């Protein structure tokens, strides 16, 4: 009994060291983008180097834990948004923000493609002043290129995941986005 207790304690100790090392090496960051229907934004961002996961959901509203039906048919104030988890050792916020601008029509006011309404607006939900400054810099570059940028910048707030059937929608249905197309804009 004594020997197995020692072995158990040793195993617990080694496990705690491993967890501590993993925690120190954790470089995951999160970013939030709203660019119309979240299915298309998710589709393009999840294929980027360094992106670990993309989750479709809602942000920016006042209703706690909204459902898709509530967001679509009532006034919850939420915007279809994606949460991007990325490894900052492999990519960064600016690279992801550039892709975000390159996959949707950031000049369209009040929606995206055929999806019209506040819940489909183009918004970068920033987590820090650094992310806000990067977004402002990219919008300034686009403006200097002659674009009339409609994308808004807002402080991130509580993110609510959409229902399971919305996650990885295009992958599950073997389709491609209907209102998102990649177009190289940045050098």
pLDDT in tens, 58-71: 999 999 999 999 99
Q: Is residue 5 part of a domain?
A: no
CA 42 – CA 56 distance, rounded (Å): 7
Instruction: Output the domain CATH number for residue 37.
Output: 3.30.1060.10
What is the model's pTM? 0.84
Pairing state of beta strands 152-155 and 122-126? parallel
**Is residue 20 in a domain?**
no
Alpha-carbon torsion (49, 53, 56, 58), positive or negative: negative
E strand residue ranges, 36-141: 51-59, 79-87, 111-112, 115-116, 122-126
96: containing domain = 26-173
Token code pair at residue 141? 């570059």
**53 is a domain residue:** yes
In a domain, 180, yes or no: no
Contacts of 173 by beta carbon, 8 Å cutoff, 6+ apart: none
Catalytic residue among 34, 37, 99, 123: 37
pLDDT tens, position by position, 122-178: 999 999 999 999 999 999 999 999 999 999 999 999 999 999 988 988 888 888 877
Structure-token pair, residue 118: 């506040």
Verify whether residue 179 is a known catalytic residue: no
**Number of structural domains in the chain:** 1
Closest CA to 160 of 102, 103, 76: 76
pLDDT of residue 158: 98
Asked, for residue 125, whether it belongs to a domain, the answer is yes
30: which 2 tokens? 């999160």
Determine, yes or no, domain membership for 187: no
């Amino acid at each position: 009994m004594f020997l197995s207790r020692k072995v158990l304690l040793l195993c617990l100790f080694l496990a705690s060291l491993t967890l501590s090392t993993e925690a120190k090496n954790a470089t995951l960051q999160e970013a939030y983008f709203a660019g119309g229907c979240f299915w298309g934004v998710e589709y393009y961002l999840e294929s980027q180097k360094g992106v670990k996961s993309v989750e479709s959901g809602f942000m920016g509203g006042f209703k706690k834990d909204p459902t898709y039906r509530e967001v679509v048919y009532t006034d919850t104030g939420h915007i279809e948004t994606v949460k991007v988890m990325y490894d900052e050792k492999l990519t960064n916020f600016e690279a992801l923000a550039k892709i975000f601008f390159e996959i949707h029509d950031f000049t369209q006011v009040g929606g995206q493609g055929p999806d019209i309404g506040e819940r489909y607006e183009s918004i970068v939900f920033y987590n820090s002043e650094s992310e806000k400054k990067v977004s402002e810099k990219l919008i300034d570059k686009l403006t200097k290129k002659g674009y009339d940028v409609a994308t808004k910048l807002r402080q991130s707030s509580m993110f609510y995941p959409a229902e399971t059937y919305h996650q990885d929608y295009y992958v599950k249905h073997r389709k491609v986005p209907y209102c998102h197309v990649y177009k190289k804009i940045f050098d």
